[in-house]
Amino acid sequence: MSTSISSLFLAAVSSANTAATSGPAARPQPTANAGADTVQLSEAQQVYQLYNQGQRVSQIASSLSLTEAAVNGYLNLSATG
């Protein structure tokens, strides 16, 4: 019986691939476009989101570097105090 070197090589590669993908150390590889799932919100959308989270107009204006009048405008609120 003769065994060629190529048969031994293929068997070794096959068992190495099986061990590498089925063992507990196998982890998914990060994808190159991991940042593609992010969304950039417009200023108006950011204002709405912060307002719906319970922030006051003054807090929103401060955190987004806007005037309170601009925040009130995005929210269609009158500027009564």
User: Per residue in 24-37, pLDDT tens?
Assistant: 666 666 666 666 78
CA separation for the pair 14, 7 (Å, rounded): 11
79 and 69 in contact (C-beta within 8 Å)?
A: yes
81 and 70 in contact (C-beta within 8 Å)?
A: no
User: Per residue in 37-48, pLDDT tens?
Assistant: 888 999 999 999
12 and 6 in contact (C-beta within 8 Å)?
A: no
Q: What is the mean pLDDT of the chain?
A: 76
CA separation for the pair 14, 17 (Å, rounded): 5
Three-state DSSP at 62 gives helix
